[in-house]
C-alpha cells in the first residue's frame, strides 16, 4: 500500500467517525496532529497506522543501477 492510499484510509476513517476531533479523541491523539497528517505536514505514526488497521514497515530494495 502506498502512503497516499494509507492517507485516504485515514481520511475515510475520520469521515466515518464524524470528523477529526471525534476521531482524535477516540484514538488518543490531538485533533491538530490528525489535521497535520492529513495535510502532509507530519507523517503517519505507528499509533495512527494501528488505528486504521495498518502496520508500518520500512522496505529496502536493491538499487538496480548499481552503487552510487
50-62 pLDDT, tens digit each? 999 999 888 888 8
If you ran DSSP here, which 8-state letter would residue 19 be given? S
Does residue 67 carry a pLDDT above 70?
A: no
15-57 pLDDT, tens digit each? 999 999 999 999 999 999 999 999 999 999 999 999 999 998 8
Mean pLDDT of the chain: 93
| Distances 35 to 12, 18, 22, 28, 40 between C-alpha atoms, Å | 13, 14, 12, 14, 9
Amino acid at each position: 500500500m502506498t502512503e497516499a492510499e494509507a492517507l485516504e484510509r485515514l481520511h475515510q476513517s475520520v469521515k466515518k467517525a464524524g470528523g477529526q476531533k471525534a476521531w482524535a479523541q477516540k484514538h488518543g491523539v490531538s485533533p491538530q496532529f490528525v489535521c497535520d497528517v492529513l495535510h502532509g505536514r507530519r507523517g503517519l505514526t505507528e499509533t495512527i497506522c494501528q488505528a486504521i488497521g495498518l502496520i508500518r514497515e520500512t522496505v529496502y530494495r536493491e538499487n538496480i543501477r548499481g552503487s552510487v
